[in-house]
């Protein structure tokens, strides 16, 4: 069975395979012990196809993982959206989840902002504020109102050391399309417009591009 792999994974898979081959000449037992690590590396970079659900104005999960407690919080200040609190949906990805990130809605990338930071455990609430992050401000298709903009934030975690973001300001992207990934455990935050209706409960398991998080109004 063919396992689709994200392009970011091939260098790591090659390194792990070389290590496995080298260990074979030292000790077959060492090779056998390292094989599960190589299999995990392959699984980490898997990139399965996803089919978004039918329906108007549905916002889907940008990541596989578990939905953390839903809170009210101000979006990243570097995006210029002000300090008014919005509903924030945070998805924690462990090292066994698919780590390819997908766009929650179809729309236009209004702006991007990278901010260096710490590497706290991504399941902690303070990770949203203090950790390294890449924030994207998205205007849903058909909307000319800045108040309808939403924010998606890729956040590095405890062992994550690289955020990959393949979009730029001015791009138009479809709902559930791939737009990046984070290597080795992390978190994605979605800041909703105030008019959005949340359609998921904390603790729910999510699949990127398929699980509905909210419905946008209008």
Active site residues: 186
- CA atoms of 9 and 45, how far apart (whole Å): 5
Residues 6+ apart with CB under 8 A from 100: 6, 47, 178, 180, 181, 208
Q: Spell out the SS3 assignment of 55-91.
A: CCCEEECCCCEEECCCEEECCCHHHCCCCCCEEEEEE
Q: Are strands 71-73 and 86-93 parallel, antiparallel or unpaired?
A: antiparallel
């Amino acid at each position: 069975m063919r396992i689709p792999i994200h392009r970011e994974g091939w260098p790591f898979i090659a390194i792990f395979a070389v290590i496995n081959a080298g260990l074979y000449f030292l000790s077959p037992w060492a090779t056998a012990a390292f094989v599960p690590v190589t299999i995990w590396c392959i699984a980490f970079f898997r990139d399965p196809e996803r089919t978004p659900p039918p329906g108007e104005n549905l916002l889907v999960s940008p990541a596989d993982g578990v939905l953390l407690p839903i809170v009210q919080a101000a979006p990243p200040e570097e995006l210029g959206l002000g300090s008014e609190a919005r509903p924030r949906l945070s998805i924690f990805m462990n090292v066994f989840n698919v780590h390819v990130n997908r766009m929650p809605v179809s729309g236009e990338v209004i702006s991007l902002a990278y901010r260096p930071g710490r590497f706290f455990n991504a399941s902690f609430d303070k990770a949203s504020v203090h950790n390294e992050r890449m924030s994207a401000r998205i205007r849903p298709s058909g909307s000319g109102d800045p108040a309808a903009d939403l924010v998606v934030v890729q956040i590095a975690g405890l062992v994550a050391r690289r955020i990959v973001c393949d979009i730029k300001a001015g791009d138009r992207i479809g709902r559930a399309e791939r737009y990046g990934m984070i290597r080795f455990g992390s978190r994605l935050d979605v800041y909703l417009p105030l008019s959005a209706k949340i359609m998921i409960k904390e603790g729910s398991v999510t699949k990127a591009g398929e699980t509905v998080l909210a419905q946008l109004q209008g």
